[in-house]
Amino acid sequence: MKFFLRVKGKKKYALCFLFGLILTLALPPFYIFAALFAFAPFLLLLNSCQSRKQAFATGWWFGFGFFVAGLYWIANALLIDPLKFAWLIPFAVCGLPAILAICLGLVAVLTYMLPRPGWRRIVIFAGFWLLMEIARSYLFTGFPWNLIGYSWDFSDSFIQIASVTGIWGLSFIAVLFGAMPYVFLQPEISRKQRIIFPAIILAIMAAIFIFGMIRLDGAIMWGRKLQVNLIQANIPQTLKWNPAEAKENFMRHLELTSYTDKKLADNLIVWPESAVPFLLQEQPELLRAITDVMPHGAYLATGGIRLEGNQRENSRYWNSFFVIDDEADILGVYDKSHLVPFGEYVPFRKFLPFIEKVAGGMGDFSVGGGPKTINLPDGIKIGPLICYEIIFPHQVVESENRPDIIVNVTNDGWYGFSTGPYQHFETARMRAVEEGIPVIRAANSGISGAIDRYGRVIARLGLNKKGNLQSEIVLPNRGENYTKTTFGRFGAAAIILIVFISGFFAAFIKKS
């Protein structure tokens, strides 16, 4: 342990980077539980800092390793058209992690500035980490990817606490647990602390697990049943936006849709993001082609492009979500509001006129108006989300008109065979638990699936598979209190209160 306290300079920062890399192994799809213990040596390295500048650098290198390993798959999107975008790979693979690592640098500085000994340092560090994750979910449009709480997604029981605290509560306990060996590695920590603190953490974890078991055991699974068919065409991203392949790509979706059981009632068919490569509202023959393969009484939800204005001048484009009935009428439209920077629009475009958006095609997409519920004639309420909009805790449903089901359309073909699609799918599970609303997810290429309101996967179609995935979803009974979770009502309020109480206790209680 003295080694961690003595190591300095480049060796120290290299170790921080290494432990950051190791920490990502706790996340999907690996779930290597012991990787959480990377927090403990990081705190030892933080202890050896002699200034705020050193503390920031220690946290920054730890964060840089964490984000480089967690977000490396972004480079795959730039290799779809390498002649245009390969030069951006160093900026994407290192630039974005470098910016995000600033957050962990600040966490390290704040922890360093409150030099409380023993278990107190762990609690204070966990509290600052948690507040950083909440800030990362909202500031500058937000990017809450790979919150450390997703390391618990391997257990349906353990993640049920997210119905109260959201994903952030799971992050808080993940840091407390991962840093727990710190109390054994510091020689000046008393034997009493080495027994009591781990015992408390393990007791809290046991209580969380028991809460989850009880919640799942009492799961209410009666209500209106909705038959869903999720279309995953598995079109290679190199062909997805090729104009010469547009008709063939559209026909693939029609063919897969034709396999839908025509005898089922209450049927919702879902095509993925941008499944329709044409302007749907201007081509009624496309609508008729779709309805020709749909069962009577069914609805189809699909991603597509929406246009307002003249196609040559003063036009605005949206990455949109359409709901169509079996009479070829468009019943509702939702415009994506959380756009991907440099993917769907270029920030500060007037200063970066030489950069094109990675998605290609027309100009920058316009921003939609935020979460929206589409009300269908038969009373079903759909909450549409496009692509990575599903990753934003407490920002996924219209609060005044909560949906019966969240429908997430996406295209993870950009990221190839990597950890990205697996991480993305797990965020959908967490939103189901947080909001108490089932989620269905249709991906062009990625992972499509049906998830119940408790985050349990009912049906799943794997990465790089093609098919029509059929499942049955039980919708919540609207108006009953149990369908709206504590987190659905209050958002992050519960976990912020817990963190402030814990932090106050750690910072000001009499030393023991």
The answer to whether 247 is a known catalytic residue is no
The residue annotated as part of the active site, out of 16, 49, 103, 387, is 387
Of 133, 240, 273, 426, the catalytic one is 273
212 in the same domain as 264: no
| Closest CA relative to residue 197, chosen from 504, 505, 493 | 505
Q: Which of 12, 240, 336, 357 is catalytic?
A: 336
One domain for residues 209 and 321: no
Residue 143 reports pLDDT greater than 70: yes
Q: Is residue 64 part of a domain?
A: yes
Contact 339, 365 (CB under 8 A): yes
Do the domain assignments include residue 486?
A: no
My answer on whether 234 and 198 are in the same domain is no
Alpha helices in 377-473 (DSSP H): 420-435
49 belongs to the catalytic site: no
Q: Are residues 250 and 166 in the same domain?
A: no
Least-confidence region, from 12-21, 132-141, 494-503? 494-503
According to the model, what pLDDT value does residue 450 have?
97
Report how far residue 46's alpha carbon sits from residue 353's, in angstroms, rounded to the nearest whole number. 42
Tell me, yes or no, whether 481 lies in a domain: no
- 367 close to 346: Cβ distance less than 8 angstroms: no
Domain residue limits at 341: 225-476
Question: Per-residue pLDDT averaged across 341-353, rounded?
Answer: 73
* pTM for the model: 0.92
Decide if 273 is catalytic. yes
Average pLDDT over residues 446-460: 95
Residue 484 maps to a domain:
no
Give the chain's domain count.
Answer: 2
What per-residue confidence (pLDDT) applies to 366?
87
pLDDT digits (tens, 9 = 90+) for 23-66: 999 999 999 999 999 999 999 999 989 999 999 999 999 999 99
For residue 10, being part of any structural domain is answered with yes
Considering the domain architecture, whether residues 199 and 317 belong to the same structural domain is answered as: no
pLDDT band for position 512 (cuts 50, 70, 90) = very low
Can you spell out the DSSP letters for 214-237? Answer: HHHHT----S-EEEEEEEE----H
